[in-house]
Structure 1
Amino acid sequence: MDDLEYLHAPGKRLYIAARQRRADPTTLGQLVLHLPAFAFSLGMVLVVGRLFELAWGLPLWLPVTLWLVSGLLVFHRPTEDLYARYVLGFRYPLPHELAKLGPVWREVTGRAGIEGDGYRLWIENTENLNAYAAAGHIVGVTRFAVESLPSAQLAAVLAHELGHHTGGHSWSTLAGRWYGLPCRAAFRAGHAVLSSTDSVMVRGSCLVTAVLLAGSSFMLLGPAAALLGGVPLVLLLLPYATAALSRRAELRADVHAASLGFAPMLTEVLLAMENAGTPTSPAPGTTGPRGAVTRSGPGAQLLASHPDYATRLHRLRPFLTPQR
């Protein structure tokens, strides 16, 4: 199945959608789940800003403003290019790769009514069958996928990635990671300090301090301490909620590709990936067409960032049935 109806052929009319991007419910849910890390990071920036104010007289609003504005630079095209090249490890397509990717990408964006020139195509130089959507304009695909997939199946993969961009999944993922960076850095530093010491006294003192703080809070605040006690529970549930929304985003991207007429091709790709046992761990700050991440232990399915292949194939089945 390698036939594509190229909309850019002579005599074809191309329609451009009025809304090139949107924030679907999955994106809004992701942003809500990022709020705790954002609040913690903001608190750290405020503390650092206060120290700068006391030491050098810098106004408190300056570091806070710089930190907030820095997130916009992540979606600046030159900065995105640096992110794709040096963080994700992508490269520009070679001439023969671009010769295949270009017409396929124009077909996909033409069907969706999207300005394809607003995105940049990248290659991951690996032998895996994968693709990625990242930041605001990055669409990556592996060299193996370009060389081995027929044009129709490659179009289905790219349509899936376009669905992540038009649904807002990609930019919300990167924004959450960027603004949560101080929070993650603080937790990793604390974990490293505790892991590096073999002193039972140090670890015991941390536990005693936590118990004393909890007891003092209950005595001083009474019922209000119950609300504070719920904070750790919320933090424990965040990974499960984040994984659930990630799985939902993958299903929405599948539906996007299917709605453009690529359901049969995407089904073939997923079956091939399932049979090949394709690795499914996503690159940081990216989304893609991979299946469920392989995990072991209790609750593994609840922490998987991608749905299992059976679920994805089941969701595509209605698009394979001819409409009467």
Structure 2
Amino acid sequence: MSQASDPQQPEETPPPGQSKPPTDDLDYRHRTGRLHLSAHQRGIDATAFGQLVLRLPSTLMSLLVLLLMSGGLDAWLGVPFWIPPLIWLASGALVFHRPTEDFLARHLLRLQRPLPEEYARLAPVWREVTARAGIDSRAYELWIEDSEDLNAYAAAGHIVGVTRFALEHLPSSQLAAILAHELGHHTGGHVWTSLLGEWYALPGRLAWRVIRYLVALALDQASRYSWLVTTLLIFGIGLLTITTIQKLYGLPLILLATPYLIAAVGRRAELRADQHAAVLGFARELAVLLEAMHQAERETRHAAKAAAGHDHPDLGFLARLLSTHPDYPTRLHRLRPYL
């Protein structure tokens, strides 16, 4: 089942013997009157644009790595040095390539296509959410994760997934709330900009891992001989690092702060997605879900402390700065104007 059916068709009913949803408490507003689709189905908000800007330094580093590698291919195989970087840049279009998305969903995200009874439960709720937003529901693919966690996903250019737990245990209104949140990530451009940034940063990240491995190996081998050799090696690595930073106009130093800035923008994207769901009329349902998830998180944290003793450390300051999701009290506070 590749696409959702026409949003103006009647809601599917489960086959004989199939249990009904936990609570069908959703107001299906799109059943009355005509469905009006927005002229702009997808955009890029300030948060998504910020992600692209913050990924630019790592993209430039990756491009530099590819140019250096392409120089070797040009010398050995006669391949023009500009071909590999050009192919790499053009490959970003795969973010919106449906077969590539299908591979990503199945093999990397471990998602599954909905079974007929799951689709009959999920599709009407999804159509209601997209109808309120003025979005064509058929533009996105619905997926299921076989998990007992309460979660949902927006990935690549058209992937919307929910866990089987959420599908089986949430009432329709709360299921619609988390779907509206994920739709906000898509319509705001948060998902494809993040994935594109990760892809373009990959060559530079791999090169950095190789450099770290080689440096650690060299220091380990040098320590087997004498402290003098180790000192000279550290001095040489430091001198090379300073020279590289100067030649690249301080770009490597910017990369050290980039993960924290990207995480901050990611937290902002979550708040914007919450706002999107609230504007569509799901603020109260989303608040109930966030409160439940906050309580579950607190119970898990207290259980971990009890198991590890009083010395069990809380999440450190730097770790909180690297979190891509705001804390639940912040998200609930931002929803208060819509309740």
Question: What TM bracket, shorter-length normalisation?
Answer: 0.7 to 0.9
The 5-angstrom pairing of residues 114-153 of structure 1 reads 114-153=135-174
2-structure distance, mates of 1:215, 1:70 = 33
2-structure distance, mates of 1:299, 1:217 = 27
Query: Is the Cα contact below 8 Å between 1:90 and 1:140 reproduced in 2?
Result: yes
Partner of 1:305: 324
Quick one: which of 112, 117, 124 aligns to 1:91?
112
The 5-angstrom pairing of residues 1-324 of structure 1 reads 2-9=24-31, 11-196=32-217, 198-201=220-223, 204-213=231-240, 228=249, 230-277=250-297, 296-320=315-339
Answer with 44-53 or 92-101: which moved more: 44-53
2-structure distance, mates of 1:154, 1:203 = 59
2-structure distance, mates of 1:175, 1:236 = 20
Query: Is the Cα contact below 8 Å between 1:2 and 1:153 reproduced in 2?
Result: no
2-structure distance, mates of 1:119, 1:204 = 57
- Secondary structure of residue in 2 paired with 1:13: coil
- Secondary structure of residue in 1 paired with 2:162: strand
CA RMSD of superposed structures (Å): 2.5
1-structure distance, mates of 2:154, 2:193 = 12
2-structure distance, mates of 1:57, 1:308 = 54
- Secondary structure of residue in 1 paired with 2:96: coil
Distance 1:295 1:249, change over 3 A: farther
Cα shift readout 1:226-272 (whole Å, capped 9, x = no counterpart):
994x5444222111111110000000000000000000000111111
1-structure distance, mates of 2:318, 2:113 = 39
Structure of larger gyration radius:
2
Distance 1:215 1:174, change over 3 A: closer
2-structure distance, mates of 1:318, 1:174 = 32
2-structure distance, mates of 1:227, 1:46 = 14
2-structure distance, mates of 1:71, 1:203 = 43
- Secondary structure of residue in 2 paired with 1:127: coil
Provide the TM-score with structure 1 as the length reference: 0.85
2-structure distance, mates of 1:211, 1:257 = 50
2-structure distance, mates of 1:87, 1:217 = 36
1-structure distance, mates of 2:164, 2:117 = 11
- Structure 1 residue 214: Cα displacement: 6.4
- Secondary structure of residue in 2 paired with 1:261: helix
1-structure distance, mates of 2:319, 2:90 = 37
- Secondary structure of residue in 2 paired with 1:133: strand
Unaligned stretches of 5+ residues in structure 2? 1-22, 224-228, 301-312
2-structure distance, mates of 1:210, 1:87 = 37
How many residues align? The count is 299
> Percent identity over the alignment?
55
1-structure distance, mates of 2:244, 2:169 = 61
- Structure 1 residue 277: Cα displacement: 1.9
Answer with 185-194 or 99-108: which moved more: 185-194
Provide the TM-score with structure 2 as the length reference: 0.82
Query: Is the Cα contact below 8 Å between 2:95 and 2:192 reproduced in 1?
Result: no
Distance 1:257 1:215, change over 3 A: closer
- Secondary structure of residue in 1 paired with 2:148: coil
